[in-house]
């Protein structure tokens, strides 16, 4: 097998036996997870099961107590300073709760990243903002403030911002929570388009079955500080663990 064959390709994201506790509360207990390049992986689990804690490790917003975290060929849990910043810029992160800056327009929310981290001039940045907003199906909303957008529009605007620096990997923390089914569908379909049109690797936290169905990724179910089932949605739904029956409604 040649070294460049897909089967040997290093994963985009890899957690190796990651443990994390806050005081007496063990949130992750030797959790391992690999996301192949171009794959969509879904992390599901009950509220407080550690989904957000897990995803924060990918960009080292949290440091593991033990274990390793890799982004492609970089071991990020031992990185510091400029090297860590560079990895973080290559990973887009849609935070739980969106987190657009309310005092800036949608366009300014995106432009400040382009200004800081690219060499585009003002006209180039304007064109890039329009292109990003068109891609998330929000054309001509650059001058609106976040408060003037619907919940689904806010998620899509935040996604446009997360994509501004052309990340190879996208992290989504509850991208569809609180949205109506039409918006759930719109945001979920964007995750599919990221994979199909741009080859972007996504790690998506969700407890939304519609989102899981539409995005169709590999599901990893987190419970009691461990991944208790992995596979496609139907396989995980049918897995023997009793907590899965409760979660998926029997
Ligand atoms: N920085 C922190 N300090 C202390 N405890 C924390 C910290 N972050 C998370 N926790 C705790 O770790 C546990 C897991 O939290 P986490 O946010 O990962 O849950 P979650 O699975 O994302 O839940 P939800 O579905 O409600 O978003 C919770 O008990 C939480 O209180
Ligand atoms: Mg969470």
pLDDT tens digits, one per residue of 163-197 = 999 999 999 999 998 888 998 999 999 999 999 99
Instruction: Tell me the pLDDT band of 127, cut-offs 50, 70 and 90.
Output: very high
For residues 73 and 176, state if they share a domain. Answer: yes
Distance 218 CA to ligand 1 centre (A): 23
For residues 63 and 159, state if they share a domain. Answer: no
Instruction: Ligand 1 pocket test: pick from 53, 56, 171, 211 the residue with the most ligand atoms within 8 Å of its Cβ.
Output: 53
Q: What is residue 245's DSSP assignment?
A: H
The pLDDT assigned to 250 comes to 54
Mean of all residue pLDDT scores within the chain? 92
CA distance 233 to 214: 11
Last residue of a domain, one of 121, 144, 166: 166
The answer to whether the Cα torsion of 152, 158, 159, 161 is positive or negative is: positive
Give the total number of structural domains in the chain: 2
Instruction: Tell me the pLDDT band of 5, cut-offs 50, 70 and 90.
Output: low
Q: CB under 6 Å to ligand 1: residues?
A: 22, 25, 27, 45, 47-53, 96
Distance 204 CA to ligand 2 centre (A): 11
For residues 75 and 198, state if they share a domain. Answer: yes
Closest ligand 1 atom number to CA of residue 174: 27
Distance 134 CA to ligand 2 centre (A): 29
For residues 139 and 20, state if they share a domain. Answer: no
The pLDDT assigned to 1 comes to 47
pTM of this structure: 0.92
For residues 132 and 174, state if they share a domain. Answer: no
Closest ligand 1 atom number to CA of residue 56: 18
* Domain limits for position 123: 102-166
**For 19-45, what is each residue's pLDDT tens digit?**
999 999 999 999 999 999 999 999 999
Q: Which residue has its alpha carbon closest to ligand 1 atom 28?
A: 48
Q: Give backbone dihedrals phi and psi of 174, rounded to 5 degrees, phi first.
A: 55, 60
Identify the three-state secondary structure at position 218.
strand
Percent of the chain scoring above 70 in pLDDT: 96
């Amino acid at each position: 097998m040649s070294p460049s064959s897909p089967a040997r390709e290093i994963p985009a994201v890899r957690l190796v036996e990651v443990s994390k506790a806050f005081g007496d509360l063990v949130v992750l207990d030797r959790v391992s997870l690999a996301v192949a390049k171009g794959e969509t992986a879904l992390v599901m689990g009950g509220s407080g099961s550690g989904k957000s804690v897990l995803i924060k490790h990918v960009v080292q917003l949290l440091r593991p107590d033990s274990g390793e975290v890799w982004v492609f060929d970089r071991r990020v849990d031992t990185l510091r300073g400029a090297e860590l910043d560079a990895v973080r810029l290559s990973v887009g992160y849609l935070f739980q709760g969106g987190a657009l800056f309310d005092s800036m327009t949608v366009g300014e929310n995106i432009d400040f990243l382009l200004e800081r981290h690219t060499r585009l001039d003002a006209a180039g940045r304007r064109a890039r903002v329009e292109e990003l907003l068109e891609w998330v199906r929000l054309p001509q909303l650059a001058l609106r403030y976040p408060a003037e957008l619907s919940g689904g529009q806010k998620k899509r605007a935040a996604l446009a911002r997360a994509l501004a620096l052309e990340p190879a990997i996208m992290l989504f923390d509850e991208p569809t929570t609180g949205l109506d089914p039409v918006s759930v569908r719109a945001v979920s379909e964007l995750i599919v388009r990221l994979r199909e049109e741009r080859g972007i690797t996504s790690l998506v936290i969700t407890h939304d079955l519609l989102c899981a169905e539409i995005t169709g990724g590999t599901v990893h179910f987190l419970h009691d500080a461990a991944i208790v089932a992995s596979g496609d949605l139907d396989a995980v739904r049918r897995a023997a663990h009793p907590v899965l029956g409760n979660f998926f409604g029997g």
